[in-house]
Amino acid sequence: MTPEETCAAVAAAVTELASHFMLAPDTYANAMSKGFEGMDFYVAGRGSALGDVPGDVVAAAFVFFNPETIVAAWDRTASLVPRHEAALLFAAAGHDWADAHLPDDLDCARLAELAGKVEAAASPAGAPIFAGWRTLPEPDADRPKALALHRMNALRELRMARHGGAVLAAGLSPQEALLVRTPYMAGLFGWAEPYPEVEHCKEAWAAAEESTDRAMSPIFAVLDKAERTELAEVANAARVATAR
């Protein structure tokens, strides 16, 4: 399997696996004890990988969200906990979700090892949340499910950053790109109706997706051919298991 083939084979797993904990009710129920309400925890937790920065910086890194929504949520959470603690709480929510939901018969230690090789070799250029996430402490090796999720989320942050750049380079607005790919998420991302027509944007979005794959593919060259095949197999096994 080539790096390009590997990139295509794992794209869905990279995008989807960590997203489950970000949408899980328990993630937000547990955060309520710290004073977070609703999606504010997502904004504060994910954004705090950047440090204690202005809300406009967080909105810029989130790319596909309505900036006003992100800035408002960021400002509301400023006094709840220190930003670094918010990042740790968010990461811990992912770790706990992985411990509870990744199957016992999946070789999560191997997934963590392979994803870790790719993560460590990747350039953080143009991917600020990825860079910040890599500075957070990882789960210990005796929590292989949590460690695998942690490293897969790093790759997710990298891919999201690469995709954001590709979308903008294709001449699409973040809102247009979101409406092409996942229109049912528009409200959650802070965009209010009425939505613009995006049928004419589909070709440009497809081109942006291809550009994203071209930008991501080189990072898989750090693995040999057998490792790339193994990564695709175990990552997709995790994706299938958690999709159920």
Q: Distance between CA 9 and CA 70 in Å, rounded?
A: 32
Is residue 50 within 8 Å of 58, Cβ to Cβ?
A: yes
- 10 Å CB burial of residue 188 (0-12, 13-18, 19+) is middle
Residue ranges of alpha helices (H) inside 102-143 are 108-121, 128-133
Q: Which of 163, 158, 162, 154 is nearest to 181 (CA)?
A: 163
Do residues 121 and 222 make contact, with C-beta atoms less than 8 angstroms apart?
A: yes
Q: Is 148 exposed, middle or buried (0-12, 13-18, 19+ CB in 10 A)?
A: buried
Cβ neighbourhood burial of 112 (10 Å; 0-12, 13-18, 19+)? buried
Distance between CA atoms of 67 and 47, rounded to whole angstroms? 13
Long-range residue pairs from 52-57, CB within 8 A, at least 24 positions apart, any chain: 52/82, 52/83
* pTM (two decimals): 0.96
Residue type, 239: R
Structure confidence at residue 146 (pLDDT) = 98
Tell me the pLDDT of the chain (244 aa) as tens digits. 999 999 999 999 999 999 999 999 999 999 999 999 999 999 999 999 999 999 999 999 999 999 999 999 999 999 999 999 999 999 999 999 999 999 999 999 999 999 999 999 999 999 999 999 999 999 999 999 999 999 999 999 999 999 999 999 999 999 999 999 999 999 999 999 999 999 999 999 999 999 999 999 999 999 999 999 999 999 999 999 999 6
Q: Closest Cα to residue 202, out of 181, 173, 174? A: 181
* Per-residue confidence (pLDDT) for residue 164, from 0 to 100: 98
Structure tokens at 9: 């084979």
Q: What pLDDT is recorded for position 244?
A: 67
**Residue 17 to residues 57, 192, 234, Cα–Cα distance (Å):** 26, 27, 12
Structure confidence at residue 21 (pLDDT): 97
User: How many angstroms separate the first and last alpha carbons of the chain?
Assistant: 27
Residues 118-121: contacts with CB under 8 Å, at least 24 apart: 118/155, 118/219, 118/220, 118/222, 118/223, 118/231, 119/151, 119/154, 119/155, 119/158, 121/219, 121/222
